[in-house]
Structure 1
């Protein structure tokens, strides 16, 4: 009986994985020829060193008309002096945050108030565009019906196992939300690589309905306002925004708790989808070792790994990123266990601020 349950959960999880992977076949690069003015929006708290890497990378973009608006949230470093002499950069100094606002959302909101571009391009201070065609790639996907463009922001793979795992985990996040969006069921995006039409942002009320929630400046905005007709996807190496992984497991856990804490506010259909996907994944690995003596154990396990390998490899090729396939069995199992554990932990932690 346990073997049958194991097989059923494994096959159901593989069916969802294949469903997400097949969505990437629907992606078609567009070529919008318009080049509207863009406002790159960044919220930063004591990010001087990161900004020294990011700002030059944005300024080197081969795009004709853009500005960079940086909201400096209660900074104690020299960020504002460094940005003062940067061309196209508008620094906004924030000394206090209203009690009814989340810190990051308030910083982003203040930056948007000073933006003049037709489109708002969101990224984070600890990021770097993968190419000088990043802005152009985003705009190419934005036709007259588009109000939101979702991109991908993978983590750079370092030499530690932690960085390798975080890179895989970020791929899995993109695999799920891009796959669902390509199936016309968007549920989230990442604020490290996302573009929103400024008039649409204002018409939808900006962050007003979610301003006091910790986290969710990206996925909750998508939850509330994205649909199958107003959203586009941008994929490919030129469209990526790389970000740097956390250097300790503690920092990573705190970041994921903040990200996952807003999951309970998702639409029921999205909570159901994610719940089934992660539950089948977890049960498959929890029952794995109870079935090692079964005659069909190895064929089933090899079939599972084969489908995972093919699905992930195809999606990664479309996204423009890379996975360490030698580590796939280990990181896939760790992801199956850690994700629901951190999600449960996030329900118990009440207050994880963006920055102190």
Structure 2
């Protein structure tokens, strides 16, 4: 009887766990409509000590093929690496408009302030928020994003990936985050955006009073924007190659800070529970599907029980193969190809890294995440 019970539990978990993973969640991507009405676009970039990034990436923004017209607005904070000089090299380009953050602005997020000033300076009805650390992979980037903004949509989110020089684990974690968010874009209300590739309406941004209520939080500008302005089934997401943004490899400090600041940001976002609960269930069953068979095999070896050894080994093999196949099929649809055999080790590593981020966040001074002490 014990053998039957243990074998049944192992089989159940081995089959159910892969079916609950985020890679099984439904996805729906918009198809760019070349016949749709297109309006002029303002691309908003914020810079501070980004001279190298300007030299590497700005030209790609200024060479877009978009008949409706566009402008690139660069909002510059005081820098010490020659950022202003780098911008002056492009001063003759009629599509480029540069403005500056007042030196007197303090006790608020300078990134959010820069984005707000960029929107106020914009002349066009549609906005794209991105980052100077990113560059469009195609000169059809604006066109492709604009073709996804249908009458029933108020936000378009395009794909962003780290460049190929970035560590595989970092690229996988970003991909994992994107996949967990994509289902909500299409079938619910968007929670946030890991991608730095967001199109929305200028009037709507201004009428919603921009970042009112969260200017004191140092980071999370794209998360707060999507969380605040998203409507139910009102977010279009595209996976088109022409809409792709490629982000420069971050430093290890930048990567870690991004993860830690998100721990703070999510405390102030709406719909956090509904977003995180499926991820929690996925990770719970994923670890059960690995730990239970291993525990059963250890028990069976100690008690010299061959049937349970076979059941445990079979369950472990089933869950690994099923999950790898399901995840691989989903990941092949993205712009970040990862070999199937590496997915399970990466997922295990991801879970423990998240625990590490959480511990580091709990130990951190909470004033590190805001612009001034209250």
TM-score, length of structure 1 as denominator length: 0.86
Q: Give structure 1 regions of 4+ aligned residues with deviation exceeding 6 angstroms.
A: 1-10
Residue 75 of structure 1: how far off its partner (Å) = 1.2
Structure 2 residue aligned with 1:96, among 86, 103, 109?
Answer: 103
Query: Contact 1:236–1:320 at 8 Å: present in 2 too?
Result: no
Residue 167 of structure 1: SS of its match in structure 2?
Answer: helix
Query: Contact 1:316–1:323 at 8 Å: present in 2 too?
Result: yes
Q: Deviation string for 1:44-69 (max 9, x for gaps)?
A: 22011111121111112211211111
Q: Which residue pairs with 1:275 in the alignment?
A: 280
Q: Which residue pairs with 2:86 in the alignment?
A: 82
Q: Which residue pairs with 1:30 in the alignment?
A: 32
Change (3 A) 1:63 1:296: farther
Query: Contact 1:2–1:287 at 8 Å: present in 2 too?
Result: no
Q: CA RMSD in A?
A: 2.8
Aligned equivalents of 2:83, 2:340: Cα separation in 1: 40
Aligned equivalents of 2:13, 2:236: Cα separation in 1: 32
Aligned equivalents of 1:187, 1:3: Cα separation in 2: 39
Query: Contact 2:217–2:369 at 8 Å: present in 1 too?
Result: no
Q: Does 1:21 align with 2:28?
A: no
Larger Rg: 2
Q: Does 1:41 align with 2:36?
A: no
Q: Does 1:339 align with 2:358?
A: no
Residue 128 of structure 1: SS of its match in structure 2?
Answer: strand
Structure 2 residue aligned with 1:200, among 187, 204, 207?
Answer: 204
Change (3 A) 1:274 1:260: farther
Q: Which stretch shows the higher mean deviation, 41-50 or 302-311?
A: 302-311
Aligned equivalents of 2:355, 2:12: Cα separation in 1: 20
Query: Contact 1:38–1:66 at 8 Å: present in 2 too?
Result: yes
Q: Which residue pairs with 1:146 in the alignment?
A: 153
Q: Which stretch shows the higher mean deviation, 339-348 or 81-90?
A: 339-348
Residue 318 of structure 1: SS of its match in structure 2?
Answer: coil
Q: Does 1:209 align with 2:213?
A: yes
Residue 92 of structure 1: how far off its partner (Å) = 1.9
Q: Which residue pairs with 1:330 in the alignment?
A: 345
Unaligned runs of 5+ in 2: 299-308
Q: Deviation string for 1:147-200 (max 9, x for gaps)?
A: 111122111232xxx711001111101111112322324211135111111111
Change (3 A) 1:98 1:316: same
TM-score, length of structure 2 as denominator length: 0.83
Q: How many residues align?
A: 349
Give the alignment of 1:239-250 within 5 angstroms.
239-248=243-252, 250=253
Aligned equivalents of 1:7, 1:344: Cα separation in 2: 34
Query: Contact 1:63–1:133 at 8 Å: present in 2 too?
Result: yes
Change (3 A) 1:325 1:119: same
Query: Contact 2:193–2:226 at 8 Å: present in 1 too?
Result: yes
Q: Which residue pairs with 2:295 in the alignment?
A: 290
Change (3 A) 1:29 1:306: farther
Aligned equivalents of 2:103, 2:224: Cα separation in 1: 24
Q: Which residue pairs with 2:303 in the alignment?
A: none
Q: Which residue pairs with 2:261 in the alignment?
A: 258
Q: Which residue pairs with 1:109 in the alignment?
A: 116
Q: Deviation string for 1:116-169 (max 9, x for gaps)?
A: 1211111111111122221111111101222111122111232xxx71100111
Structure 2 residue aligned with 1:186, among 190, 193, 198?
Answer: 190
Aligned equivalents of 2:143, 2:243: Cα separation in 1: 8
Query: Contact 1:282–1:337 at 8 Å: present in 2 too?
Result: no
Residue 229 of structure 1: how far off its partner (Å) = 3.5
Q: Does 1:320 align with 2:325?
A: no
Unaligned runs of 5+ in 1: none
Q: Which residue pairs with 1:301 in the alignment?
A: 316
